[in-house]
Each structure stands twice: as C-alpha cells, then as structure tokens.
Amino acid sequence: MRMNIGELITAMITPFKNNLEVDYAAVEKVANHLADNGTDAILVAGTTGESPTLTHEEELEILKTVKNTVGNRVKVIMGAGSNSTKTAVEMSIKVDKIGVDAILSVVPYYNKPSQKGLIEHFSQIADAVDVPILLYNIPGRTGINMQAETMAELAHKHQNIAGVKQSNPDLDLVTEIAIKTPDDFVIYSGDDSLTLPMLSLGAYGVVSVCSHLIGKEIKKMITEFKKGNVQEATEIQHKCYPLFKALFMAPNPTPLKTAMQQIGLAKDFLRPPLVGLSEEEKNKLKNILDTYQKVMN
C-alpha cells in the first residue's frame, strides 16, 4: 500500500463563530471528538470544511491546530488542490513542510482540462512533493470526470500518487480503477451511502461526512464486511442509510452543521454563499436523528 491513512477518513467541518471567523477552540473540540469515535484520519479543508470560502492562511492555521490537538492518535490529511496548477503545487509544498500524512488534490474545476491536462496537472504536484497524494474525483463539482486510464497512468508514473477519493456513483468506473491501477493504489468512496457497494468492488474505505455523528458504526460496517460478515455489514448500511441521505438534503455541510449544533458539538454558522436550513428542514433532520438513535439502541 502506497500510504497508510486508515479505512475511515472524516472530512472535518470548519467551525465558525457568529462573526464567521474560524472558531479554533471548536476546531479542537471537533478534532478530539473524531479521534475518539472511530476516525482513522482527519481531512482538513475539504469540501465539508468549506474550503472555497477559507483563505490559504486559515487553512494552514486549521491544519496546525488539528495536528497539535490529535497528536499521533489519528492521521491528518490536507485538502491542497486548486484549479490552478501553480497554486496547487505551491500549497502542496507548504503543507508538506508543515507535515501531513497525505494530501487530497481535487480534479481542477471550472476550466475543464482534458485527460492529458489532468496528467500534466497532477504530475507537477507529484514531482514537487514526497508526501502521498490522494486524487479527488468529483465530477458533480468539477465539471469533468477523471477516467480510470488517467488514474492508472498517473499511478504508474508517480509512486506518491497513492489513491483516489471517488465521489462518482458510477460503480463500473470503480471496477475499472481497481483493475487498471497498481495493486497498492487505494480507492476510497467519497459518498457514505456508496461505501459498502464500493468495498465489494475493491475500495479500501471511505472519506466520510456522516462519521462526525456515527463514526464507530461506519467503522464497524467496514470491519464486518472485511471479516466476511456481509449480512451484518448490510444491516448497518440499511440502518444508517436514512442518515446518510439526510445529510445531503441541502448543500454539504449545511445539514451536518445543523446536526452538530443539535447534538452540541459545534455551531451551525456557514460562510456565504451557503445558508442555513429552513425550520422545516431542521425539524426533518432532527426527526431522522431521533429515529436513528431509536433504531440503533
């Protein structure tokens, strides 16, 4: 395996104060909660962390805060991608110097490069740092889909291109990635609800949103599946499924932040253009959370 960052990665929220400044005390609280509840690695400044509205200085300060908080209890990953190759390279170098266990690097968004352009983009990043790189394929946000052949070429060319967060419901593509990439290239589901089916096709784990709330249950699902207890893993999936879907009733991380406030772990402040849930949506989410607790108890 090209990197060892565990099976359950949590894409951590960025807590804000009511003035929308980063709440670093809450960052510590959430990081401790994740480290104590099944998470193997914390991803800082991903989509769930509202990276589009964070400054690079804030991202690096959050990274340092999380690292100081969790110590060696869990791995730490940083979202260091950009649609500018130059910016992605520079940010990756800075993050590598601070020290992380891996970098998450998103497919360039908005400018819609070709597959050849993707190879050039990620090759420049891989050549600039030694830290393992987890590609991030999320066509719903970037406008393009990285093909299995592209991932395979990158993985064969660069030893530190170590895996992919696959946020694409195309399960045939997961199979193609598993077949075409080296055996030590790791695939992570980028969607909680698709973790179990992706595991059956060769994925290793998940970059999760829902693990803020049910990390131990998601970790158990992965463990039971890999032990061969498919029925038990499936039962966990079925119980968790309504919650998986509820956390995407509005743009991520809006529902998650509401849920975190409802259970007392963080406030639900969001930076524009994201806005909070309506009262009707809040009540719906609370009912789903309450039902989940009853089902699991």
**Residue of 259, 210, 264 lying closest to 239 (CA atoms):** 210
How many CB atoms are closer than 10 A to CB 286?
15
Q: Is the dihedral of CA 32, 38, 44, 45 positive or negative?
A: negative
d(CA 84, CA 86): 5
Residues with active-site annotation: 136, 165
**CB under 8 Å to 261, separation ≥6 — which residues?**
267, 268
Tokens linked to 127: 């050549």
- List, as one string, the DSSP characters of 161-177: EEEEEE----HHHHHHH
Say if strands 102-106 and 41-44 run parallel, antiparallel, or are unpaired.
unpaired
Question: At 194, phi and psi to the nearest 5?
Answer: -105, 5
Q: Which two tokens stand for residue 193?
A: 């609800």
Quote the distance between the C-alpha of residue 282 and its chain's center: 24
Please give the angle made by the CA atoms of 254, 258 and 259, to the nearest 5 degrees.
115
- Note whether 7 and 221 are within 8 A (CB): no
| 3 state DSSP class of 238 | helix
**How far apart (Å, rounded) are the C-alpha atoms in residues 287 and 297?**
15
Beta strands 133-137 and 102-106 are parallel
For 39, which DSSP code?
-
